[in-house]
Chain A
Amino acid sequence: MKKEEERPVLKVEGLTVRYGKGCPHCLEGGALLKNTCPQCRTVWACRAVDAELYPGEILGVVGESGSGKSTLMKSLYFDFPVTEGRAWLTSYKEGGADIFHQNLQQKKYIRNHIMGMVYQNPVLGLRMDYSSAGNIAEKLIAAGGRSFSSMTGRVRELLAAVEILETRMKEPPRYFSGGMQQRVQISKALANNPAVLLLDEVTTGLDLSVQARVLDLIRRIRQEYGISILLVSHDLAVIRMLADRTIVMLDGQVIERGLTDQILDDPQHPYTQQLVHSLL
């Protein structure tokens, strides 16, 4: 899927998220114990992560719990402040501005217009006491929508796209199953036709049949909307099914990257080998 002549829709360089001041040992790239500096106990949730996401591509991010996958996603969505690093979006000022160094208004604009996020835990992405329609409309309102009828029309369209009956649009997501909640989250993320969709463990905690429906939906969304997706999962089966390319993270760092088939069928790094062989 990667096309060398194409510009990436999202490019991340040296993304670092650090909790602690650091010390000469860890700041100069010294070895860490897991993702923690053995001397100053600074936690390096992400350390110099580079990534590129191309148009229409699904980029998988795999790794064990605590490897920095979700931190990477949430940093890109401005949920967490980054310590260092830069990122560019082609859809934002034609890729000429580092999104991490924008003011709050600009970051809000990027969140609401250019990116959509689906969290692992629907509670983070949805207001459980508001109606499903309200949850989706929230994104439209945040992007400046002030016409009730046009927003409701768009909500109907999005709920139909994720196969939720219009008759349930007034119900709050807390009455929905886990799979339905994830589908409401997906429709909310798609509300403003974002250029990049961030999916953080969308199928975790769902039973197999519901997982299959959600995965089918993601595949369909990619085909219909031509959207670029950054997909975090610790489930290699999900990655194999959806991702074109994959990066493997361990202790906050990217240890291997390549085409998904290549990563899963011929892993080079010992950790990736262990990961693949332990599951397949």
Chain B
Amino acid sequence: MIDQSHYNFAFLDENSKREIRRSLLKAVAIPGYQVPFGSRELPIGRGWGTGGIQITLSVIGRQDVLKVIDQGSDDSVNAVNIKKLVTACTGVKVTTDSEEATLIQTRHRIPETPLRQDQILILQVPTPEPLRVVEPRESVTKRMHAEAEYSPMWLTLYEDLIRCGRIGISSEYPVSVEGRYVMNPSPIPRYDTPKLNDSDALYLFGAGREKKIYAVPPYTAVIPLAFEDVPFEAEDFAGKRCRLCGAEHVYLDELTDSMTGRRVYECSDTGYCAKRRAEAAGEKRISAGSTESERETGGSVSAGASGEEMAR
């Protein structure tokens, strides 16, 4: 156990946190604009979420409730390590419930539960520059942003369509923020991209290795780049459901059952899935006296029952 008296609250010194908060304010004032900041050394390697951690440590208060997820999972090594670091130097409460959390640090996913005004979502970003795929020089991409010269980005979409008949970007789908800056929404799947648009919550993006911070304030227009006659399409999970909680219309991970070789699906957001199962278990206990057919028509799900079983 780390002795908290050896560390400043939230690990970083106050001046560093102040500098990061100033960068955050600027980022919020100019949605989608990448603000440079002095990325600090942390007891974790750059590229392992240091941008997100620095933002979390700069904005966290003693009353906050923290949730950390990595590719939707509350229990991945990265998420657990980050939670350990933050709790060790702040003592804040951690949770896996998206509704309970006030700060959510995440990588690759946005929680399924819609966010509220009093919540902040902090995304870890490996490559903040959306134009990096078309232009390797930082000086040139800066000028392209200044001139709103995004035609090379549009051209990559056109190329995908002309060569493959569809846009093949699976994550980091470029978005236009308030009709001005093209932004990389971090490697979230396309499914999550529309959640950024007109959201109630504040989204903060931190790239520690690239030393950039940017933000999407609440109620900001975040529109995926798409041609007029080829609309943006998210991943389609029609007809599929989570085998654990039976959820539909959520982002699902595709797995192969090692016993049967069948493709099965599970909620990518493990906190959401666990909460649904817990709720279902509660309902099951409440309705213990009811008949099997009543439970099926009532739509409640059994804890541990597979989605297929529930469908039956």
List the interface of chain A (C-beta within 8 A of B).
Answer: 104-105, 108, 127, 130-131, 133-134, 137-138, 141-142, 146-152, 169-170
Contact = CB atoms under 8 A, between A and B. Distances in A.
> Would you call the interface of chain A mostly helix, strand, loop, or mixed?
helix
Contact of A170 (B151, B152, B155, B162): B162
Contacts of A137: 155, 158, 162
Contacts of B254: none
Contacts of B149: 108
A65 B16 CA distance: 58
Interface stretch (B86-94, B118-126, B222-230): B222-230
Given A104-B147, A108-B147, A146-B227, A133 B155 contact: no
Contact of A131 (B151, B159, B228, B229): B159
Interface in B161-193: 161-163
A149 B163 contact: no
B154 interface: yes
A141 B162 contact: no
Question: Which 4 residue pairs of A and B lie closest in terms of their CB atoms, listed nearest first?
Answer: A148-B227, A142-B151, A134-B159, A141-B151
A141 B155 contact: yes
28 contacts: A105-B147, A108-B147, A108-B149, A127-B155, A130-B159, A131-B163, A134-B155, A134-B158, A134-B162, A137-B155, A137-B162, A138-B152, A141-B151, A141-B154, A141-B155, A141-B158, A146-B227, A147-B227, A148-B158, A148-B227, A148-B229, A148-B230, A150-B229, A151-B158, A152-B162, A169-B162, A170-B162, A170-B163
Contacts of A151: 158
A93 B161 CA distance: 36
Given A105-B147, A108-B149, A130 B229 contact: no
A48 B229 CA distance: 49
A33 B303 CA distance: 90
Interface residues of B, number: 15
B130 to A, nearest CB: 16
Nearest to B146: A104
A194 B58 CA distance: 53
Contacts of A104: 147
Nearest to A133: B162
Nearest to A127: B155
A170 B158 CA distance: 11
Interface string B5-32: 0000000000000000000000000000
A131 B163 CA distance: 8
Contact of B228 (A147, A169, A170): A147
Contacts of B159: 130-131, 134
Nearest to A150: B229
A108 B147 CA distance: 10
Interface string B136-162: 000000000001010110110011011
A170 B163 CA distance: 6
Contacts of B161: 148
A149 B229 contact: yes
B160 to A, nearest CB: 10
Contacts of A169: 162
Contacts of B227: 146-148
B147 A138 contact: no
A130 B157 CA distance: 11
Nearest to B164: A170
Contacts of A170: 162-163
A142 B230 CA distance: 18
Nearest to A107: B147
A101 B306 CA distance: 69
Contact of B155 (A138, A149, A150): A138
Contacts of B154: 141, 146
A152 B158 CA distance: 9
Contacts of A148: 158, 161, 227-230
B305 to A, nearest CB: 45
Contacts of A147: 227-229
A194 B172 CA distance: 36
A108 B150 CA distance: 12
Contacts of A130: 155, 159
